[in-house]
Chains A and B, each alone.
Chain A
Amino acid sequence: MSGLEVRDLVVAIGGFRVVAEKLVVAPGEIAVIHGPNGAGKTTLLKAIAGLVKPVRGLIVINGETVFKAYVKTEVNKPPEKRWVGYLPQNLLLFPHMTVYENIAFAMKGRGIKPDSRKVSEVLDLVGLKGLEDRRPSELSYGQQQRVALARALASNPRVLLLDEPFSNIDVEFKRELRREVSRIARTLGLPTLLVSHDPEDLTIADKQFLMDKGVLRGRV
């Protein structure tokens, strides 16, 4: 199937285990994993992105198996070959690059030749134009969040993974950004997995999950 599919996934970090028995997100659908800090939400996102290697299970992105391990590891594609748009909690815009260069870097990673028109289009998508020459340190936190989202989208992803994307911003802007993420995911038909400890984020969810002490429970 296209979209995101996770089955029987077990990730072990030290003595902590994260288990996701079944997680399916269709194109244009938004799934929100809710749960307290330290429950294993970020670990699950990282496992899907290829940044943490699970012990066993299956991850399929847009019909392509990117991780498969039951008795032994059969498939384990590196992060650069998974085509995920990953927005980490602390944004991590490259501080030595301008906004333009951050977006262009994402495009280059996918073999897209960046130019000012393409970069403007992506920035327009998140309602942020005219800041191409600024460094991340010259932007407000809200603007940085939009740029980080734009950068994730510029890499032409097949799935969007958002880690606490609305934290550390004021209530009004939080609502606005939620609406935009929802609009973008649906417009681009991107399966979107969002993890959050804020119950308010469930308002944009088509599917809801709860991560409790490392175990993913469905609450559709």
Chain B
Amino acid sequence: MDIPMLIILLTSLGVSIYVIASVVSGVGMGSLATAFTSWEFRSALTLSLVAAFLATILAAPLAISIAYVMARRGGLLPLVAESLLTLPFTTTPVATGSLLLLFIAQTSLGRWLDRILNLLFTLNGAVLVQFILALSTMLTPMIEAFKTVDVEYEHVSRTLGHGFLSTYISVVIPLARRGLLSSILMGFMKAFSDFGATVMVAGIIIGRTATLPGAIYVEMSSGNVNIALAMIILSIIVSFIISLLARIFRSGGFERT
């Protein structure tokens, strides 16, 4: 039996369950059960899933393309580009959101985009913000995933008569798939859990733009602790599952050296 691993697992599980259970007992199970079926809860969950899913679907192909280009180049330029593109991930989200809000509201290009895409205080705005966050989150792990694929595989594929695109689709992507899937899940998680950037652009309009983090803030501020707690518990469950899946994909199963 792996005693050290068991201690780590039981301790982390114990602390998590203790904290959640003690809060739940304060609110009451009945009240919590009602909260899970409330309109506010279902609406925030739906908006969160829709926004994060759309943002991830839109960001993933772009991130994969950029990451591949950067992974196959050496020198300072790719590092500078990567640092720039991951700024939304490394900067505090509220700064990213504020900057986007000012850009959309105060510049002619931003206003034009708002007219076309209807961004401010809408779900579209939330998707745009989360798209940027997901993209910047995915980029670095995707670059690492592509770097693990020996460029010689591409060379062999080319000598076998396959062009760049066929090689990219049939050889490079499948060989990097674990890292790419893990990166996509991490991007989804970033989008799903964002508060600061999303609220700056989309606001927190319950039923229209309030995703789970925003809705938790509103419900806590309004004293609806049971609804907020239901949302918190769901956020924790989703985070745990996505995080576990991302790690399983990244490590290629349950192996660990």
Contacts and interface: CB of A to CB of B under 8 A. Distances in A.
Interface in A53-111: 78-80, 82-86, 88, 90, 92, 94-96, 105-106, 108-111
B150 A86 contact: no
B163 to A, nearest CB: 5
The 4 closest A-B pairs by CB, nearest first: A109-B161, A79-B158, A86-B159, A109-B160
Contact of A151 (B150, B160, B170, B174): B160
A169 interface: no
Contacts, number: 63
A105 B159 contact: no
B81 interface: no
12 contacts: A51-B155, A51-B159, A78-B163, A79-B159, A83-B161, A88-B152, A88-B155, A88-B156, A92-B150, A94-B157, A105-B157, A105-B160
Nearest to A49: B159
Given A95-B175, A96-B174, A105-B170, A155 B156 contact: no
A59 to B, nearest CB: 14
A83 B160 CA distance: 7
B171 interface: yes
A30 B152 CA distance: 25
Contacts of A3: none
A28 interface: no
A94 B159 contact: no
A86 B156 CA distance: 7
Interface of A: 46, 49-51, 78-80, 82-86, 88, 90, 92, 94-96, 105-106, 108-111, 151-152, 155
Interface string B165-177: 0100011001101
Contacts of A151: 160
B153 interface: yes
A51 B158 contact: yes
A36 B170 CA distance: 35
Contact of B159 (A82, A90, A96, A108): A82
A96 B175 CA distance: 7
Interface in B109-155: 150, 152-153, 155
B145 to A, nearest CB: 14
A147 B162 CA distance: 19
Most chain A beta-carbon contacts within 10 A, residue among B150, B160, B171, B175: B160
Contacts of B159: 49-51, 79-80, 82, 84-86, 155
Contacts of B157: 94, 105, 109
B175 A79 contact: no
A106 B161 contact: yes
A82 B162 CA distance: 11
Contacts of A96: 174-175, 177
Nearest to A51: B155
Residue in B156, B157, B163, B175 with the greatest tally of chain A CB atoms within 10 Å: B156
